[in-house]
């Protein structure tokens, strides 16, 4: 089955809502409209930018998708500072990243919490982009496949089989994020193929063939083409390069 390529720009904690509007306009108007039928492009801004992007996308009927970088495990309540799945859904978010290594590291997010957030997103019809990936010492020990497939299974725990096809998996080796050190296409393919094989083992071949598996970690216009050529890589989660309109649209055009 053919899976539509997805390029998702993770803006992290960058750009206020005015800067967000300017960047989205540049991205949307630099790519020909027919391009968006081939490749799905999404931006994942900070929460404070989402309402402005929604207005822009709806008003101009842009084909660009958008989402968020985190979601609470709860729908509402006394959870100061958190943002819930129903709130993201109301803002038209298509995606939310869950379990990004920066949240695992700086916010102590465990596999159990990541799993609860995956469920919260799905319950609200927002597709989680479940991030998995090994730190450098795990790769050096040769345990990267075991590490990432274990994170995958933990993140999906308790989901119904049909829910799994709505999840996007992002393989992001921690040592490649924001470092300029991209995984080789063969190394990225090895892990993405192992993740898909694990999905097949747990949920069957059909589901495994539907789930999109992205690579993330220092993706740029200069390396995207070789990455998406790999059989099991269906696009990219892009950090730094997604903040530069020219570079990001070039990268999308080469995907």
Tell me which of 7, 10, 167, 207 binds ligand PEP, using CB under 6 A. 10
Q: Near ligand PEP by CB under 6 A, which window of 13-21, 58-66, 155-163, 216-224? A: 216-224
Alpha-helix runs per DSSP H in 107-222: 111-123, 136-140, 144-155, 161-164, 185-203, 205-210
**Cβ nearer to ligand PEP, comparing 99 with 217:** 217
Residue 221 pairs in a beta bridge with none
Identify how many contiguous H helices and E strands the chain contains and give both numbers.
13, 8
Residue 7 pairs in a beta bridge with 41, 236
Cβ-closest position to ligand PEP: 239
Residue matched to tokens 């991209």: 182
Note whether 124 and 89 are within 8 A (CB).
yes
Q: Does the footprint of ligand PEP cover residue 99 (CB under 6 A)?
A: no
172 belongs to the catalytic site: yes
Which 171-190 residues touch ligand PEP, going by CB under 6 A? 172, 177-178
Q: Does the footprint of ligand PEP cover residue 218 (CB under 6 A)?
A: yes
For 218, left (φ over 0), alpha (ψ -120 to 50), or beta?
Answer: left
- For residues 135 to 174, the per-residue mask of contacts with ligand PEP, x marking binding by CB under 6 A and - elsewhere, is -------------------------------------x--
Smallest gap from Cβ 217 to ligand PEP, in A, equals: 5
* Catalytic-labelled residue, pool 100, 102, 134, 147: 100
Helix (H), strand (E) at residue 129: strand 127-132
**Cβ nearer to ligand PEP, comparing 85 with 240:** 240
Smallest gap from Cβ 229 to ligand PEP, in A, equals: 19
Q: 211 in helix, strand or coil?
A: coil
Q: Does the footprint of ligand PEP cover residue 69 (CB under 6 A)?
A: no
Smallest gap from Cβ 99 to ligand PEP, in A, equals: 11
Q: What residues contact residue 137 under an 8 Å CB cut-off, 6+ apart?
A: none
- For residues 226 to 245, the per-residue mask of contacts with ligand PEP, x marking binding by CB under 6 A and - elsewhere, is -----------xxxxx----
Which 192-211 residues touch ligand PEP, going by CB under 6 A? none
* Catalytic-labelled residue, pool 40, 102, 134, 172: 172
Q: What is the C-alpha separation between 24 and 163, in angstroms, rounded?
A: 30
Q: How many residues bind ligand PEP (CB under 6 A)?
A: 13
Q: What residues contact residue 29 under an 8 Å CB cut-off, 6+ apart?
A: none
144 belongs to the catalytic site: no
Note whether 127 and 121 are within 8 A (CB).
yes
Q: 247 in helix, strand or coil?
A: helix
Residues catalogued as catalytic: 100, 172
Residues at the site binding ligand PEP, with contacts judged by CB under 6 A: 10, 172, 177-178, 216-219, 237-241
């Amino acid at each position: 089955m053919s899976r539509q390529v997805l390029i998702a720009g993770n803006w992290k904690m960058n750009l206020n809502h005015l800067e967000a509007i300017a960047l989205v306009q540049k991205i949307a108007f630099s790519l020909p409209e027919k391009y968006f039928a081939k490749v799905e492009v999404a931006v994942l801004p900070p929460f404070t930018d989402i309402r402005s992007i929604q207005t822009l996308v709806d008003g101009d009927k842009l084909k660009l998708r958008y989402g968020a970088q985190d979601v609470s495990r709860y729908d509402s309540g006394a959870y100061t500072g958190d943002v819930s799945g129903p709130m993201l859904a109301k803002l038209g978010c298509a995606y939310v990243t869950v379990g990004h290594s920066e949240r695992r590291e700086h916010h102590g997010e465990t596999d159990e919490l990541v799993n609860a957030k995956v469920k919260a997103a799905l319950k609200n019809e927002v597709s989680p982009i479940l991030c998995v990936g090994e730190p450098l010492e795990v790769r050096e020990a040769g345990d990267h496949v075991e590490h990432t497939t274990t994170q995958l299974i933990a993140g999906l725990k308790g989901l119904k089989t049909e829910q799994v096809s709505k999840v996007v998996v992002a393989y992001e080796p921690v040592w490649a994020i924001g470092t300029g050190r991209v995984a080789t296409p063969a190394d990225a393919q090895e892990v993405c193929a192992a993740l898909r094989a694990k999905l097949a083992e747990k949920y069957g071949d059909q589901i495994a063939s539907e789930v999109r598996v992205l690579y993330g970690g220092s993706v740029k216009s200069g390396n995207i083409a070789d990455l998406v050529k790999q059989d099991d890589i269906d696009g990219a989660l892009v950090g730094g390069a997604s903040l530069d309109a020219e570079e990001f649209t070039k990268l999308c055009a080469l995907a």
